[in-house]
Amino acid sequence: MLKLKQYAGWLAIATCLISLLMLRFAPPVLTGWIEVVVAPGQTLWSLAEQCPANPWDVVNAIAVHNHISLDQTLQPGEVLEVPTKMSPFWTRLVF
């Protein structure tokens, strides 16, 4: 029992660090969705590059949010909702 108490502080610190790392590598929370009219030649990737987050995460978020598949060709004039902001990972911390 004495040895367990001796390492309890280190265990708590390690748990906090692991939790922060898990949050850091989780997909970002995207906000500020606006409607965008697709121009000729635009792709999910070109739309995703306008958001300040990893484009892979944004492409997936746009597809899920608009109920389309990742391999679907976008049609000019199609209206999609696209995120404009990314919430930092520490906003997901709950105390």
The enclosing domain of 25 has a CATH number of 3.10.350
Please give the pLDDT value at position 89. Answer: 65
List the beta bridge partners of residue 49.
none
Residue 92 lies in a domain: no
Task: Flag whether 94 is in a domain.
Answer: no
Range of the domain at 10: 2-87
The number of domains in the chain is 1
- Banded model confidence at residue 57, pLDDT cuts 50, 70, 90: confident
Q: Is pLDDT of 15 > 90?
A: no
The conformation of residue 41, written as its DSSP 8-state character, comes to T
Confidence (pLDDT) at 61? 92
pTM over 0.85: no
Of 26, 30, 39, 27, the residue nearest 62 (C-alpha): 30
In a domain, 68, yes or no: yes
Q: What is the pLDDT of residue 95?
A: 56
Strand blocks (E) in 1-95: 29-31, 34-37, 79-82, 85-87
Length of the chain: 95
Residue 95 lies in a domain: no
